[in-house]
Structure 1
Amino acid sequence: MTARAKADPLQQSTTGEGDRPDYYIAAVGRALAILDAFSPQRPELALRDMAAAADVSQPSALRIGYTLVQDGFLVRNPLTKGYRLGPKAISVGMATLNSLALPEIAEPYLVDLRDRTGETVKLAIHHGTTVVFVSRVPSLTHPAGTHYIGSSLPVHASGLGRAILAHLPEETALRLIEESAEARITSRTLTKAQARKDLALVRERGYAVNDQATSLENRAVAAPLLDANGRPAGAVNLSMSVQRITMAEMERTMAPLVVETARAISAVLPPNVQGAGWS
């Protein structure tokens, strides 16, 4: 959950009832504002934090907190006296995630990565011996390249594919490389033998690079998405022009952001998420 401004009933209409401020239950809105204030960066809130989130006094926040604890949406930390999300809140969140497909879950994270870097971001899954692009957030200032949703590449030839392969069982990964098409997309496309050697390095550093291997105009860095069972559901990459960034700069400045984004998405993926790629 991420912190946001308290909902304004005069501006929001999600029930089809039109603008009916008399329908808005303020106490419910305040409780939801408290739940919405939790995030991975703020897993625990003090009473004063809850009061600020709900825009109420601390005695009022205490009563709201008590109610949420009794109903299982919050729990008290006995050492710090702070509040954390409880099992009911986690169950609701997981039910929501289970109803979403991988591209829907990943989209806000992909947009955030695009906005932080200014570069094009893509999400791909593996399908047999290929990787297929299923989501794309284009740069707002630079040409977005030639790979669009639905296009595919041999699984060993792209950084996206190798990011996925590196987290599959070794026997499966080697089989997929062997069965994939030995396509020389550019003069810098990795051979199958080079791809096999690259997997250990990808596992070690947590990301794969593509240095003009699928387009002579672009470099890219990719990191895997791992579901709740540790299986690679797909991979995220950031693509940049070779005219704007060197390999060393890309690995130093962009790779950590891609890895961070992939881990954030992975943290909210349920087991067997819809739309994931499997061997």
Structure 2
Amino acid sequence: MSAGQTTVLTETAAAATGVDGAKEDRHFVTALARGLAVLACFGPGRTSLANHDIAEACGLPRSTVSRLTYTLTKLGYLQHMPELGRYRLGTATIALSSAALGGLDVRAIARPALQAVAEAANASVGLGVRDRLSMRYVDCQRGPAAISLNLDTGSRISLARSAMGRAYVAICPERERQGIYEDLKALDPVAWPALRTGLDRAVAEHREIGCCTSFGEWQETVCAIAVGFHPGGGLPPMSVNCGAPTVITDARFLMEVARPKLIDAVRSLDGVMGA
């Protein structure tokens, strides 16, 4: 399992046990959060899971997971494969994802600009939104390089360590940013000081040079930059990254060649849905 997958599963466990629950929010429904955390376990490289896999990822007892997977299967959100003793996402999740993505008209507007940057930088360019303590890809365009990042629509990456996540933090409302900081600190108090330093640096970077960076901090072999923006039209903040394996590109190329192109592309998307 890669470092990125481990981070995502750690964040899934936090969602299941309820980092927000620690805030003693009487409106927070822990059972619902756990059920959604079970669904969040599935993704690229994790298309089918057994109860014990889910229990480990969510940090929950197997008996609890068994009840959750049974309920989600009855509702069509999971499909049980009895011959394997495993589960996969059910057809009910397709309706949810289709409805969610269908409401993001900004994807169609952004796609030509993202593709132009991907080709010019010979890299992967992704459009992402926040998903708790992760970033979720809602679109991805690739350059002509034979080797590219193994990420696509629906993929999740770390909010705190990735350029995409840092760009989101840099432009989100101050109140939301403080909430993110509190959740990250509660999730891993030991790692928090280093994460805080990286996020504070990212906020300054976005203001001073127009983008955030992550050179080997999300994954050692990946270099990326990202720019955040406000699409308007009632949509939440979003961010666009540009990155590639280090065998394809390096920090200097991204900063000197890709950065101005990425900034110009994202600038054209700022407020586009409210226009």
TM class by shorter chain equals: 0.5 to 0.7
- Measured in 2, the distance between the counterparts of 1:257 and 1:198 equals 19
- Measured in 2, the distance between the counterparts of 1:197 and 1:217 equals 21
Match of 2:8 in 1: none
Paired residues, number: 170
Question: How does 1:93-172 map onto structure 2 within 5 Å?
Answer: 101-172=105-176
Cα deviation, residue 232, structure 1: 5.7
RMSD in angstroms over aligned alpha carbons? Answer: 3.0
Residue 229 and residue 239 in structure 1: after superposition, are their counterparts in 2 closer, same or farther (change >3 A)? same
C-alpha contact 2:233 2:271 (8 A) present in aligned 1: no
Match of 1:215 in 2: 219
Question: How does 1:222-241 map onto structure 2 within 5 Å?
Answer: 222-228=226-232, 233-241=237-245
Q: Deviations over 1:35-67 (max 9, x none)?
A: xxxxxxxxxxxxxxxxxxxxxxxxxxxxxxxxx
Matched, 1:249 2:253: yes
AA at the equivalent of 2:254: M
Question: How does 1:183-194 map onto structure 2 within 5 Å?
Answer: 191-194=195-198
Q: Deviations over 1:193-247 (max 9, x none)?
A: 3323431222222210110122222201101122248986311111123234332
C-alpha contact 1:154 1:183 (8 A) present in aligned 2: no
Cα deviation, residue 154, structure 1: 3.0
- Measured in 2, the distance between the counterparts of 1:130 and 1:203 equals 22
Q: Deviations over 1:3-40 (max 9, x none)?
A: xxxxxxxxxxxxxxxxxxxxxxxxxxxxxxxxxxxxxx
Cα deviation, residue 115, structure 1: 2.2
- Measured in 1, the distance between the counterparts of 2:222 and 2:156 equals 17
What percentage of residue pairs aligned between the two structures are identical? 18
- Measured in 1, the distance between the counterparts of 2:161 and 2:259 equals 19
- Which residues of structure 2 form unaligned runs of 5+? 1-101
Match of 2:272 in 1: 268
Secondary structure of 2:225 counterpart: strand
- Measured in 2, the distance between the counterparts of 1:136 and 1:227 equals 17
- Which residues of structure 1 form unaligned runs of 5+? 1-97, 272-279
- TM-score under structure 2 normalisation? 0.54
Residue 230 and residue 254 in structure 1: after superposition, are their counterparts in 2 closer, same or farther (change >3 A)? farther
C-alpha contact 2:171 2:237 (8 A) present in aligned 1: no
C-alpha contact 1:182 1:191 (8 A) present in aligned 2: no
AA at the equivalent of 1:166: A
- Measured in 1, the distance between the counterparts of 2:269 and 2:214 equals 22
Higher helix share: 2
Match of 2:57 in 1: none
